[in-house]
Chains A and B, each alone.
Chain A
Amino acid sequence: MKRFILAFIAAYIFLFVWGWLINGVLLKDIYAQTPNLWRTQTEMLSFFHWILIGQALIVFAFVMLYVAGFADGGVAAGIRLGILLEIAAIGMRMGVYAVQPFPGKLLIYASIGGLIEMIITGAIVGGIYKPAASGKAVS
Chain B
Amino acid sequence: MEGAHHEVPTLLRPETDFKSHFAWLVLGHLVMAFFFTLLCARFVPAGGARAGATLGILVGLVYAGPHLISFAVQPLTLKILYGWIAGAVIQFAIAGAIVGAIYRPVAEQIMYVKERSR
The CA of A135 and the CA of B111, in the complex, are separated in Å by 13
Number of A-B contacts (CB under 8 A): 173
A45 nearest CB neighbor, chain B only = B72
Mask: chain B, 40-67; 1 = CB below 8 Å from A; 0 = not: 0011111010010011001101111111
Mask: chain A, 57-91; 1 = CB below 8 Å from B; 0 = not: 11111101100111111101100110011011111
A51 nearest CB neighbor, chain B only = B72
Residues A11-40 near B (CB distance < 8 A): 19, 36-39
Indicate if the CB atoms of A73 and B21 lie closer than 8 Å: no
Indicate if the CB atoms of B117 and A76 lie closer than 8 Å: yes
Which of B35, B36, B43 contacts A70, CB < 8 Å? B43
Indicate if the CB atoms of A101 and B43 lie closer than 8 Å: no
Indicate if the CB atoms of A77 and B72 lie closer than 8 Å: no
B36 nearest CB neighbor, chain A only = A88
Which of A65, A71, A98 contacts B62, CB < 8 Å? A65
User: A132 near B: Cβ within 8 Å?
Assistant: no
Instruction: Show the binding face of B for A, using Cβ within 8 Å.
Output: 10-13, 17-18, 21-25, 27-33, 35-36, 38-39, 42-46, 48, 51, 54-55, 58-59, 61-69, 71-75, 112-114, 116-117
